[in-house]
Amino acid sequence: MQDLHLDYPLTVAVAGATGYAGGEALRILAAHPNFEVTCVAGHSSAGKRLGDFTPHIPQLSSLTIEDTTPEVLSGHDVVILALPHGASGALAAQLEDVRIVIDLGADHRLESAEAWQDFYGDGYCAPWTYALPELITGGDENFGFSYQRSHLSSAHRLAGPGCNVTAVTLAFQPALAAGLVNSQISAHAVVGYSGAGRKTGRVNLLASEALGNATAYSVAGSHRHIPEIQQNFAHAQGLDGQNYSAIQQYKLGFTPVLAPMSRGIMATVSAALSNKALEMSDEEIRSVYEKAYGNEFFIELLPPTVLPATADVIGSNAAHIQVAVDRRAGLLYGFSAIDNLNRGTAGQAIQSLNIALGLPEDAGLTKIGVAP
């Protein structure tokens, strides 16, 4: 139910406004009926017009970018932090007067301090409410599932998931929650270049390097999204995400590949069929995904012969999902396609913000892609 004690539209400040994630948040907020962007903040861009960086959002082009300080961000109803990991924690701690803060970076995602130390080093921050409404948080023998959505209601500090994490989690969590696969898991994600952020000085991100080229990165267990994916898999099976030993039981091989497209993630996840799944028909296995996602507005389980494609979800908060069984190899495959900036970052953050405020979950969002 909508919080009737608030005066809408609520004021929103976005830090990291000139980056890709911040820009996508602004694009969505500019058309949202319940929010008004009243502050945009940056660092090197401070003092410049927002329109110099986001001409595709004319409604907000006249705003002047302010410095990213607690004084600038305080006093707003909502603050969205679209900052690199390590930059949000100390800043967020000084925003006590802000009703809702959403961190799109990694600082508040991991529940295990050991996992953070292992992949990020020092500077661990306490976890916030995880902003993936469709995350499965347990199930029963009849494939009845519980979801993270119930924890988002009235939440005031939200941690946005990683984009690759979102794609891999949505592709495979029903299989894990239902006990259909073993814990040795292989995941590959074909990722658009915006996933690397809006950086200068990176030769490998130049068009001359990227066009006509696909290249793997952060391979062999080094990608920082791995412990977050493991944490989500643990939750799907009703386990404690704070227990680093428990989440490490998921032996995840994750290989991301940069592909010459601006947006999108196409994830392919596979694992060996469990004994339980080997006794089930392909239709029964598919029915698990149908039960998991049948009532989810933004998740589309595609017809059995249709595979997800990034072009179909660009510009939307949708996730297109498919499941397939390879009987010869004894493997179950989960596929997902998402827009990394929308569904993978800003879109689901605003979806979660809607839930926290009791607004319609789809307010300001669409599941209609831009294709071709």
Q: Which residues contact 180 (CB under 8 A, 6 or more apart)?
A: 174, 273, 274, 276, 277, 280, 285, 288, 332
First to last CA, the chain: 37
DSSP-assigned letter for residue 325: E
Question: Is the distance from CB of 324 to CB of 316 less than 8 angstroms?
Answer: no
Kindly provide the b/e burial profile for residues 153-170, where b requires at least 16 CB atoms within 10 angstroms of the residue's own CB. Answer: eebebbbbbbbbbbbbbb
163 is catalytic: yes
Residue tagged active-site, from 10, 29, 163, 332: 163
Q: Where are the beta strands (DSSP E) in 192-330?
A: 215-216, 251-258, 265-273, 299-301, 319-326
Task: Residue count of the chain, please give it.
Answer: 372
The β-bridge relationship of strands 35-42 and 251-258 is: unpaired
Both tokens of 369, joined, read: 């892609």
* 3 state DSSP class of 208: helix
User: How far apart are alpha carbons 263 and 253 in whole angstroms?
Assistant: 23
Distance of CA 346 to the CA centre of its chain: 8
Active-site positions read 163
